[in-house]
Amino acid sequence: MAKKPISFMLNGRKVETLVEPRELLIHVIREQLNQTGSHIGCETSHCGACTVDLNGRSVKSCTVLAVQAEGGTVLTVEGLPKNGTLHPLQEAFTQEHGLQCGYCTPGMLVRAYRFLQENPNPTEEQIRFGMSGNLCRCTGYMNIVKAVQSAAKKMQAAGGK
Amino acid sequence: MIPGTFEYHAPSTVDEAIRLLGEYRDEAKLLAGGHSLLPMMKLRFAEPGHLIDLNRVQALKGIREQGGMIHIGAMTTENELIASELLRKKCPLIPEAARLIADPQVRNCGTIGGDIAHGDPGNDHPAIMLATEASFVLRGRGGERVVPADGFFLGTYSTELKADEILTEIRVASVPAGTGYAYCKLKRKTGDFATAAAAVQLQLDGKTCKKIVIALTNAGPTALKAKEAAAVLTGKTVDDKLIEQAAQKAMAICDPAEDLRGDREYKTHMAGEMTRRAIRQALARAQGK
Amino acid sequence: MLVKLEKTFPIDAPADVAWSLLQDIQSVAACMPGAQITERVDDRHYQGQVGVRMGPASVTFKGTIEVQSVDATQRQLRLVGKGADTAGTSSASMDLTASIRSTADGKAELTGLSEVTVNGKLVSFGGRLMGQVSDQILTQFGENFAQRVLAQGQGATAQQAAASVAAQPREINALAFLWRVVVGFFKSLFGGKKPRSAG
Amino acid sequence: MATTAEAVEREQKLQGVGCSRRRKEDARFIQGKGTYVDDIKLPGMLFGSIVRSPYAHARIKSINKAKALAVPGVVAVLTADDLKPVNLHWMPTLGGDVQAVLADKKVCFQMQEVAMVLATDRYAAADGVAQVEVEYDELPAIVDPHKSMAPGAPVIREDIADKKEVGHGPRTHPNHIFTWEAGDKAGTDAVFANAPVTVREEILNPRVHPCPMETCGCVASFDKVAGQLTVYLTSQAPHLVRTVVAMLSGIPESKIRLVGGDIGGGFGNKVPVYPGYVVAIVASIVTGVPIKWIESRIENLSTTGFARDYHGIGELAADKDGRIQALRFTALADHGAFNSHVSATKFPAGLFSICTGSYAIPKAYCRVDAVYTNKAPGGVAYRCSLRVTEAVYLIERMIDILAQKLNIDKAEIRRRNFVKAEQFPYTTALGWTLDSGNYRAALDKVLKAVNYEALRKEQAEKRARGELMGIGISTFTEIVGAGPNKACDILGISLFDSCDIRVNPTGSAIARLGTMSQGQGHATTYAQIIATELGLSSDEIQIEEGDTDKAPYGAGTWGSRSTPVGGAAAAVAARKVKAKAQKIAAHLLEVAEGDLEWDVDRFKVKGNPSQAKTMKEIAMAAHTSNIPDGMEKGLDGSEYYDPPNMTYPFGAYLCVVDIDRFTGETKVRRFYALDDCGTRINPMIIEGQIHGGLTEAYAVAMGQQLVFDSGGNILSNSLMDYFVPTAVETPKWETDYTVTPSPHHPIGAKGVAESPHVGGIPCFSNAVVDAFAHLGVTHMDMPHSAFNVWKTIHKLGLDKHA
C-alpha cells in the first residue's frame, strides 16, 4: 500500500513523515517520531496509556489513524514542560506519589492537562469522572486524584495554565 | 492488533462522501469516531478496501435550532452534545445519556450519527432517539429523505439506512418547559455497554401524565419502544402501583442476548428496574423536585 | 460452544416424494443456505463449503460432509458436516438429523434436529449470537427443502417453487443475524461508535 | 537513634529509614523518559508476531508458510520443526514440567504458540501471521478440572503420558500433575470425628490475571562476532531468567546479559519464562539480528501468567465457644496445559500451608491435587507469595462461616482464636514459625476507629427495613520473603538475595542489588536503608538493579521478597562497610575501636564528642595511605543474604458495603486497612503500595475472572470483559498501622505490598456475604459482580417490589 506524506505539529515542532493509511497514530509517534513517552496498554481504547492531545482534545492514539492527524496539533507528555520547567501536574504527581511503575503516567498527565483546561477547579468526583478513561494498576488512583487537585490549586494561584 | 491495508479517503463534502460510497459500494466503510470499526479492523474481522473518513466534512457538525426543532449534525461528538447549552435547555435527555457513554477520550471521537446508524442495540442513542421521537435525515445519490426514529431500527446492525446513504442530521423537537426526562443505565464499569438501560420523557398536565415515551437499550435485537408500558401511565396520575405495571409491560417485550453481563432473566429484570427508576426520576423532574 | 435446535416444517407433498429428495445429498446440501458440494468422494462422503458474509466480514467454512446413516424405514437421514474457515481461526460442525413423517392430510413434515459446535476466534468474540445464527440456518434449510420438494411436482406452485429455489442465495441469507456474530464480538469487546453497518 | 537536637537535625538530613522521601524514579517517568522494553529500538531489529491456536485441544495436521513468506517485509516463519535442530522446541518450566515453545504436533490450549513470523515491522509481521495456514484436527477439550482425572478422560499431555512424576510425587492419572499434603491427617481426622461443631464449605478462587499495564515482551540481540547475547526483558527475576537461558541455549552465562530496564508493573505476571522470549532469543541467535516480541493485551490475558484457579474445600472443627480445634483444607488446582507455575522446588503448592492464618489451631491438615486442563498454563503469584491468597481466603472465609454457625460476632470469634502476643515466635500446626505479631491490638484499633458497635447497630436497623448492608472483617497473616535457603530453591538455586555497596572517596555511594523494581520504588527505599546504616545522605546513594552485568546475583522481586531479603542484604552489606569504617576511624583518631561510638553519621570518641570522624571523612581516608597497616584500600561491602526465616506481615481490615437489592450492585462505603509490616522504611511508599494492593483486591473480589466456554474458548480476554476498575469504580481507602518489628530481620522490616491484596480479597467477600448472613447465606463465590450477587438476591426473593 502506497505511503502518504503527512505533516502535523508535535509538541510545538512541525513533523513530516510517510505513513500507510492503516498506521495508528501511537505507532507513528513512538516508532517513527521517537517520542516513546506515550505507551500502548490495551489496543482496544480502554486503558488510556496512549492518550495524547489532538487538536485540543484528549484522544486514545491507538484508535486514531496517523493520517487523521494531518495538519493537526499533537501534544504528548514530552511537550508538557514549558521552557525547561516541568508542568505543575508533573511536579504534583511526584509530590503526591501519584505514580509507581510509571507506565500509565504519561497518558494520565496528558489527560489531566486537558481536563484542567476543561475544568480548572474540579471537585474530587469530577476528577475521578474526568480521568475515568485512564487505567492504573499500581496506585489505586487516590494519589493521582490528589495530584490533580493540588496541581489545579497551584495553577489557579498562578492564574491558570 | 494491526488492521489490514485499505485506501483512505477524506472527503470534505457530503456529496463527495456519497459519490465515494457509490463508487466503492460494499468495499467501502464510513469512518466516524472509529472506536468500533478500528478495533474490528485490528482483529481482521473487517477488512474494507476503502475507508471514507467523515471527520473532515464540516457540514456534518454542529447543533442549531430551527423553527422549534433542534438539528444535530451526525458527526457531532458526544462531548459536544454534553457541552451544548441549547440541548441542556431544550432536549436535556440527550446530554444526560451522552455522559453515560464510554469515557472522556472516547466521547471526544464518538459521534451521535455513528452511534445511531450503527444500529447496535447496545448503543445508547437509539433508545434516546425513540424517547425523544427524533427523526433522521438520510442522504443518498437519489437525494434526501427524512425518516422517524420509530421504525428506523430493523434488527441488530440493520437499519433503514441504504447502502449508498449517509445519515447527515438528527432532528428533535425542543421540549416544552416542565418536561420530565431521565436515562437510567446499569453498566459494569466506565466504558461498558449497558447491561440494560431505560430512557423516559414525559409531560404532566397538573397531576396526570399527559404524555410519556419509554425506550430500552440492549434489551432486544434493537432499541425497544415500550409502547404498552407508556399506555399504562398515559392519562393517569402516576403512582407506584402504575409504575410497577409499566415496568412489567416493559419487561414483557425484552428479548436480550445472554453474555458476560448477565443471562436473559437478569437483563430482563434490569430493563424493568431501569424503567422504574427512569419513570420515577422523570416524574420528579417534571414535578420540579 | 454447542447449540442444539429442533424444528419441524410442513411439506406440501407426500412423504415418499420428500424422502426421495432427502436421499439426494447434493440437493440436501443445496438446501443449506450458502452451502455447496464441491466434490463427491463417494456416496457417503463429500467435500463442500459454506460461505457466510457478515457485513464487512465474510467467512468461508471449507470441509467435509459425511452421511452417517440413511434409514429408509424411519425415512431418516443423519449428516455430519465439519469445516474450518479458510483463515484457520475458527471451526464449525453441524450434526443434522433430518426425518420425514407423513401427516394426517397425506402430506408430510420434515423434522430437523441439529447440533452446531463452533470453536475459535468466532466464539471468543461473538459466540453468544451463535444460537440465533444456527436457528436462522436451520430455518432456511427447512424452507428451502420444502420448496425443492414442491418444485419436483407439476403446475404453477411447482414452477413458483422452482423459481424460488433458483433464486436461493449462494450465501447465507441472514445478513442481519450473521452480521451480529462478528459484529457481536466487538460489541462485547469494544465501546464507542461506528458509522453505518452494511446491514 | 539520635538524641540531641543537633543530632536529630543531622539524622533528618540523611533522609533515611522512616522518612517519606520523594521517589528518585519519578523524574524520568513524569517526563516520558522511562525505558520500557517496547521503547528499545536496535539497528536492523526485526519484529516477531505469534501465530496462535484458535482451538483449546487439537492436532496440527500441517503448517503452510508459503503465503506468509510471500508477504512483503516478512523475513521468516519459525515453527517447532525449525527449533528442533537446536532442541529448543520444548523448554523446562519452573514447575518441574516441560512446555512447548512452539506447538509440537499438538495444541493444548486456545491461543497456544504455534509459529512466529519475523518481519521488518509489526505491520508486516501481522500481515504474515494472517497468511500462515495451519490445518488442525480438533480434539475434545477438558475445561472443568473436576473432570480431568475422570476415567477415560482425553489425555492432554501425550508427551509425558508415561512420566511417573511432574515436579512432585507420583502421578495417578495422565492428567494428574501432583498431590501435595501437609500436617497430621490422622490426628486431624480424629479431632473432626469428635468435635462439638464442624463447618464445611466449597470455596472457589477463580482463574484471574495480574494484568499489569505493560504486557510482556522482550528484545533479544545476539552478537555473532562477540558470541554475546543481550536480552531486554520484562522480568521480575532477570538473574534466574539468565540462568534458564544459559541452560537452554548452551551459551556461557557470562556471555548472556539480561536487562530489566523499567517494568510497567508485574504483580507476578513477569516471573516466568514465556515461549515468546525463547523464540525471540533463538531467532536472534539464528538470524544474528535483534528480534522484538511484544504481547498484545488479548495475548497477555489469554496466555501468559494466569493466577489462582483453586477449587477449595474448607473445614473447621471447634468447640461450642468457637475455639477452633482443627482445620482441614483441600484444593483442586487447575494448572492448565503445562505445569509452568512458579514454585520453590519443595513447595509445589507454594505456601498454601500458611492457611492456619492468625489463629492458634492445634491440629491441621491440607492437601492440594493439581491437574491439567485445556487452558493456558501457569498459576503465578498475583501480588502474593505463591498460593498465599488462596490459603488466606479460605481461613478468613471459614472463620466467618464458623461464627455464623455459632452465632458469635465475627470480631469476637477472631479474638478467641488469635495467636496471642506473648506466644510469639509461634510455630503453627503446619510448621511455620510466625516471627512476631500483635493481632488483637491491631483488630481492636480498627474496631475502635470505625466504631464497630455503631455499625452493627445500623446494620440491624437496615436489616429490619429489608436493606442489605454488610460488614466484612479480615485479620490476616501473610508469609513473605522467600526464603530460608535450606528450604527454598528454584532450579536448585537458593532464594538468597544480594547487595554490593561501593563508597566513593567523596562519600557518595552506589549499591547494586539482585532484586528488580516494577514500581515499588527500590531506588528510593534501599537508599534510605543504607543512608541510616552508613550515615550518608540517601540522595548521594545510587541504586542499580536489573542489569545482570552490573548487579550481583539474586532471585528477583516477587513474593514481597525485596525488603525482607534484598533490604536485609543492603543493611548487612552496609554494616560490613561500617565495620571497616570503624577500624579506619579508630586509626585516624588514634584510639581503640572499642572507644568509639556511632552517632548518626560519624564515629566519635566516647566521652569526647569533639573527637569524631564522619563517614565522608572516613570514605576519603579509605582511599589514601592513611589507613591501618595491612588493610586493603577502598570502602566496599557486599552480602548474599540467606534469611533465617520468612517474615509474617499482618493486618486487620474492615469493609462496609451497601448492596442494591434490585440490581445486585455493591457499593463499598468504607474500607479501613490497618497494616503491620514491622519497621516502616518509607511511609509514603507504603501507603501507595497499600492503595494499589487494595484496588487489585477489589478488582479480584468484585469482577475479575477469566471465563471459558465448554469448548475451552476464552470469553474474557480484553479489557471490556476483564474487570480493571477506573477511578470512578475504585473505593476510597483509609489506612492505619501498628509496628511490630521482625525479630530476625536486620532492621525489623517485613514487606508490605502484598498484604492489601491477600488480606483485602477475603474482606470484600466477607462483607458481601455478611449482608446476607441473617438470611442463612454462608458463602458466595467471587467475583461479586452485580449479576452474581443478584442471583443470590433473586433466589431469596429480596428483589420484589411492594
Residue ranges of the domains in chain C? 2-188
Cβ-defined contact of C189 to D55 (cutoff 8 Å): no
User: Could you tell me if A46 lies within 8 Å of chain C, comparing CB atoms?
Assistant: yes
Cα distance between residue D353 and residue D355, in whole Å: 5
Domain covering B180-283 in this structure, CATH number: 3.30.390.50
Q: For residues D161-182, give the mean pLDDT.
A: 94
Domain covering C2-188 in this structure, CATH number: 3.30.530.20
pLDDT at position C126 is 60
Is residue A108 within 8 A of residue A147, CB to CB? The reply is no
Q: For residues A42-47, give the mean pLDDT.
A: 94
Whether pLDDT at D170 is above 50: yes
Whether pLDDT at C52 is above 80: no
Q: Is D679 helix (H, G, I), strand (E, B) or coil?
A: coil
Exposed/middle/buried for C51, CB within 10 Å: 0-12, 13-18, 19+? middle
Is residue C48 within 8 A of residue C28, CB to CB? The reply is no
Q: B287: which residues sit within 8 A by CB, 6+ positions away?
A: B180, B204
Confidence of residue C183 (pLDDT cuts 50, 70, 90): very low
Share of chain B above pLDDT 90, in %: 87
Instruction: Compute CA distances D338 → D167, D289, D350, D710, whole Å.
Output: 11, 31, 17, 19
Q: For residues D459-488, give the mean pLDDT.
A: 96
Which of the 8 DSSP states describes residue A100?
S
Instruction: Estimate to the nearest angstrom the gap between the alpha carbon of D47 and the chain centroid.
Output: 30
Is residue B140 within 8 A of residue B164, CB to CB? The reply is yes
Q: For residues D577-593, give the mean pLDDT.
A: 98
Which of the 8 DSSP states describes residue D84?
G
Is residue D127 within 8 A of residue B4, CB to CB? The reply is yes
- And the C-alpha cell for D83? 527449533
In chain B, which residues have their Cβ closer than 8 Å to the Cβ of C192? 33-36, 39, 102, 106, 109-110
Is residue D15 within 8 A of residue D24, CB to CB? The reply is no
Q: What is the pLDDT of residues D617-642, one digit of tens each?
A: 999 999 999 999 999 999 999 999 99
For D537-591, list the strands marked E by DSSP: 541-545
**Closest residue on chain C to D54 (Cα):** C120
Question: Concatenated DSSP letters for chain B?
Answer: ------EEE--SSHHHHHHHHHHHGGGEEEESS-TTHHHHHHTTS---SEEEEGGG-GGG--EEEETTEEEEETT-BHHHHHH-HHHHHH-THHHHHHTTSS-HHHHHH-BHHHHHHTT-TTSSHHHHHHHTT-EEEEEETTEEEEEESTTTEEETTEES--TT-EEEEEEEEPPPTT-EEEEEEE-SSTTPPPSEEEEEEEEEETTEEEEEEEEEESSSSS-EE-HHHHHHHTTSB--HHHHHHHHHHHHHT--PPPBTTB-HHHHHHHHHHHHHHHHHHHHHHHTT-
Cα distance between residue D157 and residue D371, in whole Å: 11
Is residue A66 within 8 A of residue A25, CB to CB? The reply is yes
Question: How many pairs of residues across A and B have Cβ atoms under 8 Å apart?
Answer: 76
**Best residue in A137, A145, A146, A148 to probe D by mutation, most D CBs within 10 Å?**
A137
Q: What is the pLDDT of residues D246-256, one digit of tens each?
A: 998 999 999 99
User: Could you tell me if C135 lies within 8 Å of chain B, comparing CB atoms?
Assistant: no
Question: How many pairs of residues across B and C have Cβ atoms under 8 Å apart?
Answer: 139
pLDDT at position D345 is 83
Confidence of residue D369 (pLDDT cuts 50, 70, 90): very high
Instruction: Compute CA distances D454 → B218, D159, D400, D460, D642, whole Å.
Output: 42, 61, 20, 10, 48
**D169 φ/ψ sector (left φ>0, alpha ψ -120 to 50, else beta):** left
Length, in residues, of chain B: 289
pLDDT at position C116 is 82
Question: Where are the domains positioned within chain B?
Answer: 7-51, 65-173, 180-283
Among candidates A22, A68, A132 on the partner chain, residue whose Cβ is nearest the Cβ of B190: A132
Cβ-defined contact of B156 to C183 (cutoff 8 Å): yes
User: Could you tell me if A90 lies within 8 Å of chain D, comparing CB atoms?
Assistant: yes
- And the C-alpha cell for C72? 429408509
The dihedral sign for the CA sequence A121, D684, D268, D261: positive
Residue B125, number of CB atoms within 10 A of its CB = 31
In chain A, which residues have their Cβ closer than 8 Å to the Cβ of D727? 127-129, 131-132, 134, 141, 144-145
Length, in residues, of chain D: 802
In chain B, which residues have their Cβ closer than 8 Å to the Cβ of C194? 32-37, 40, 114, 118, 120
Please calculate the CA angle A50-A51-A57 and round it to the nearest 5 degrees.
Answer: 155
Lowest mean pLDDT among C137-141, C194-198, D742-746: C194-198
Cβ-defined contact of C84 to D135 (cutoff 8 Å): yes
pLDDT at position C104 is 87
ipTM: 0.93
Q: Who has greater pLDDT, D572 or C53?
A: D572
Domain covering B7-51 in this structure, CATH number: 3.30.43.10
Q: B103: which residues sit within 8 A by CB, 6+ positions away?
A: A48, A132, A133, B190, B191, C191, D726
Cβ-defined contact of A139 to D733 (cutoff 8 Å): no
**Closest residue on chain D to A126 (Cα):** D728
Please calculate the CA angle D461-D463-D464 and round it to the nearest 5 degrees.
Answer: 65
- And the C-alpha cell for A155? 495553577
Q: What is the pLDDT of residues D479-502, one digit of tens each?
A: 999 889 988 998 889 999 999 999
Whether pLDDT at B268 is above 70: yes
Distance from CA of C190 to the nearest CA of A (A): 7
Confidence of residue B59 (pLDDT cuts 50, 70, 90): very high
**Closest residue on chain B to D121 (Cα):** B2
Q: Is A87 helix (H, G, I), strand (E, B) or coil?
A: coil
Q: What is the pLDDT of residues B67-95, one digit of tens each?
A: 989 999 999 999 999 999 999 999 999 99
Question: Concatenated DSSP letters for D247-281?
Answer: HHH---GGGEEEE----S--TTTTSSPPHHHHHHH
Is the whole model's pTM more than 0.90, yes or no?
Answer: yes
Q: For residues D154-176, give the mean pLDDT.
A: 94
In chain B, which residues have their Cβ closer than 8 Å to the Cβ of A44? 1, 39, 42
pLDDT at position D97 is 93
What amino acid is encoded at A39 in this protein? Answer: H
User: Could you tell me if B159 lies within 8 Å of chain C, comparing CB atoms?
Assistant: yes
**Closest residue on chain D to C189 (Cα):** D720
Q: What is the pLDDT of residues D773-795, one digit of tens each?
A: 999 999 999 999 999 999 999 99
- And the C-alpha cell for D735? 489506612
**Best residue in B40, B55, B105 to probe A by mutation, most A CBs within 10 Å?**
B105
Q: Which of D473, D469, D366 is nearest to D417 (CA)?
A: D473
Cβ-defined contact of C190 to D720 (cutoff 8 Å): yes
Confidence of residue A121 (pLDDT cuts 50, 70, 90): very high
Domain covering A4-77 in this structure, CATH number: 3.10.20.30
Domain covering B65-173 in this structure, CATH number: 3.30.465.10
Whether pLDDT at C197 is above 70: no
Q: For residues B242-249, give the mean pLDDT.
A: 98
pLDDT at position C167 is 59
Three-class SS of C36-60 = EEEEEEECCEEEEEEEEEECCEEEE
pLDDT at position C194 is 36
pLDDT at position D614 is 98
Q: Is D474 helix (H, G, I), strand (E, B) or coil?
A: strand
pLDDT at position C32 is 77
Residue appearing with cell numbers 586493603: D632
Kind plus residue range of the DSSP H or E element containing D98: strand D98-100
Confidence of residue D147 (pLDDT cuts 50, 70, 90): very high
Residue ranges and CATH numbers for the domains of chain D are: 5-34+497-641 (3.30.365.10), 37-139+215-263+270-303 (3.90.1170.50), 306-482+645-795 (3.30.365.10)
Q: For residues D3-32, give the mean pLDDT.
A: 96
Q: Which residues of D are catalytic?
A: 236, 383-384, 754
Cα distance between residue D50 and residue D48, in whole Å: 7
Cα distance between residue D237 and residue B262, in whole Å: 40
Q: For residues B236-249, give the mean pLDDT.
A: 98
Q: Return the bridge partners of C69, or none.
A: C78
Cβ-defined contact of A47 to D264 (cutoff 8 Å): no
Q: B7: which residues sit within 8 A by CB, 6+ positions away?
A: A1, A21, B49, B50, B51
In chain C, which residues have their Cβ closer than 8 Å to the Cβ of D138? 91, 119
Cβ-defined contact of C196 to B115 (cutoff 8 Å): no
Among candidates D36, D297, D687 on the partner chain, residue whose Cβ is nearest the Cβ of A44: D297
Distance from CA of A157 to the nearest CA of D (A): 22
Q: What is the pLDDT of residues D289-322, one digit of tens each?
A: 999 999 999 999 999 999 999 999 999 999 999 9
Q: Which of D651, D538, D708, D565 is nearest to D239 (CA)?
A: D565
The neighbours of chain B, by the rule of 3 or more Cβ pairs under 8 Å, are A, C, D
Is residue A45 within 8 A of residue B106, CB to CB? The reply is yes
Is residue D365 within 8 A of residue D372, CB to CB? The reply is no
Q: Return the bridge partners of C51, or none.
A: C60
Q: Is D4 helix (H, G, I), strand (E, B) or coil?
A: coil
Instruction: Estimate to the nearest angstrom the gap between the alpha carbon of D461 and the chain centroid.
Output: 41
Share of chain D above pLDDT 90, in %: 95
Q: For residues D609-622, give the mean pLDDT.
A: 97
Lowest mean pLDDT among C179-188, D183-192, D588-597: C179-188
Question: How many pairs of residues across B and D have Cβ atoms under 8 Å apart?
Answer: 59
Distance from CA of B193 to the nearest CA of C (A): 7
**Best residue in B193, B260, B280 to probe D by mutation, most D CBs within 10 Å?**
B260
Whether pLDDT at C182 is above 80: no
Cα distance between residue D207 and residue D380, in whole Å: 11
Whether pLDDT at C54 is above 80: no
Q: Who has greater pLDDT, C39 or A109?
A: A109
Cα distance between residue D186 and residue D196, in whole Å: 18
Is residue B24 within 8 A of residue D145, CB to CB? The reply is no
Q: Is D423 helix (H, G, I), strand (E, B) or coil?
A: helix
Cα distance between residue C118 and residue C114, in whole Å: 13
Distance from CA of A108 to the nearest CA of D (A): 10
Domain covering A88-157 assigned CATH 1.20.210.10 in the classification: no
- And the C-alpha cell for D100? 512447548
* Residues of chain D contacting C, Cβ within 8 Å: 54-56, 110, 130, 132-136, 138, 709-715, 717-718, 720-721
Distance from CA of D136 to the nearest CA of B (A): 21
pLDDT at position C189 is 40
Q: D99: which residues sit within 8 A by CB, 6+ positions away?
A: D90, D91, D92, D93, D275, D338, D340, D377
Exposed/middle/buried for D625, CB within 10 Å: 0-12, 13-18, 19+? exposed
Whether pLDDT at C169 is above 60: no
